[in-house]
Amino acid sequence: MKSFAVAICAPSGTGKTTVARALVQGGTGLLFSVSATTRPARAGEQPGVDYHFVGRDEFEAMIERGELLEWAEVHGELYGTPRANLERAERQGELLILDIDVQGAQQVVTARPDTVTIFLLPPSLGALLERLRNRESEDEVRLRQRLETAQRELERLDAFEYVVVNDRLEETVARVSSIIVAERQRRERQAEPLAALRRRLQEDLERERR
Ligand code: 5GP
C-alpha cells in the first residue's frame, strides 16, 4: 500500500491532539508527525516528542532550506511540518498522522492530493470552553484569540472530506480508525500489490478453466 498522510484539524480545545495520540498508540502502521514550533513548551511537553521547539531564526532557516512540507502562523507563533516526517513514514510504509491547523492542511493537500482530511467538532461551545479553561496556560486574552480562530476555522469545514464530532474519546478514535481502515482499501492506494495479485488470479483462472 502506498503511504499517505491523514490531516486532523479542529478548533483549539476540541481534543484533537488527544485523539491523534490515542490513534497512533492504538493503531499499527501510524506515525505521529512531530511539528516544529516557535511557541514555548507547556508544562509536561517534551522536546522531540510533542514538538521540536525552535527559535524564530531557526524556524525561518528551515523555511529557507525548504525543509517544511507546510507551515503557518497560528496565534502569533509559527508551526510547521518537517518534510522528513513524511519521508520517514514513506520509508517505513506507515501513514503519517498530522495534527495541524486548517491553513496547514490545505497546503498539505496541495502538495499531496492523496491526503485524507478529517475535521473534528466539539459537541458544543460549552465543551470547548471547558477544555480551554482547564489548560493552565490559557489566560483570558489567549482564550479570546482561540475562540476567534475557532470561528474562522469553522468556516472552512466544507473543504474537509470527513467530519467527526468528538463527544466521547473512545468513540471518536474508533470512528477515525474506521476512516483510516477504509482509506487504506482504496484501489488506487493498492495499485502495485493489486496488479500482481490480479495477474496471478487471472493466470490461475485461465489454467483452471483449461
Ligand atoms: P498548540 O499550540 O495548541 O499545540 O497548537 C495550536 C495549533 O497549531 C493547533 O491547531 C495545532 O493543530 C496547530 N499545529 C500544530 N502543529 C502544526 C504544524 O506543523 N503545522 C500547522 N499548520 N499547524 C500546526
**Residue-wise pLDDT tens digits, 45-76:** 999 999 999 999 999 999 999 999 999 999 89
**Residue-wise pLDDT tens digits, 183-203:** 999 999 998 889 999 999 999
For residue 137, name the pLDDT band (cuts at 50, 70, 90): low
pLDDT exceeds 90 at position 205: yes
DSSP 133-181: HHSTT--HHHHHHHHHHHHHHHTTGGG-SEEEE-SSHHHHHHHHHHHHH
In this prediction, residues 140-148 reach a mean pLDDT of 89
Does 105 contact ligand 1 (Cβ within 6 A)?
no
Please report the pLDDT score of residue 105 as a whole number.
97
Question: Beta-strand (E) ranges in the chain?
Answer: 5-9, 30-32, 35-37, 51-53, 68-74, 77-82, 95-99, 116-121, 162-165
163 Cα to the center of ligand 1, angstroms = 18
The mean pLDDT of the chain is: 94
For residue 133, name the pLDDT band (cuts at 50, 70, 90): confident
101 Cα to the center of ligand 1, angstroms = 5
Does 35 contact ligand 1 (Cβ within 6 A)?
yes
Does 12 contact ligand 1 (Cβ within 6 A)?
yes
User: Quick one: which atom of ligand 1 is closest to the CA of 16?
Assistant: 12
All three cell numbers of 208, joined, read 483452471
pTM for the structure as a whole: 0.94
Please report the pLDDT score of residue 36 as a whole number.
98
Separation between Cα atoms, residue 108 and residue 5, nearest integer Å: 9
- Long-range (24+ apart) CB contacts under 8 A made by 137-146 are 137/42, 137/43, 142/75, 145/75, 145/76, 146/11, 146/12, 146/13, 146/75
All three cell numbers of 71, joined, read 507551515
Does 38 contact ligand 1 (Cβ within 6 A)?
no
Please report the pLDDT score of residue 136 as a whole number.
64
For residue 138, name the pLDDT band (cuts at 50, 70, 90): low
Of the residues 8, 19, 31, 35, which should be mutated to test ligand 1's pocket, given the most ligand atoms within 8 Å of the CB?
35
**Residue-wise pLDDT tens digits, 12-45:** 889 999 999 999 999 889 999 999 999 999 989 9
Angle between helices 169-184 and 16-26 (to 10 degrees): 60
User: Mind listing the domains of the chain with CATH numbers?
Assistant: 5-33+93-209 (3.40.50.300)
57 Cα to the center of ligand 1, angstroms = 19
Does 79 contact ligand 1 (Cβ within 6 A)?
yes
In this prediction, residues 103-127 reach a mean pLDDT of 96
Does 74 contact ligand 1 (Cβ within 6 A)?
yes
For residue 139, name the pLDDT band (cuts at 50, 70, 90): confident
> How many of the other CB atoms lie within 10 Å of CB of 180?
18
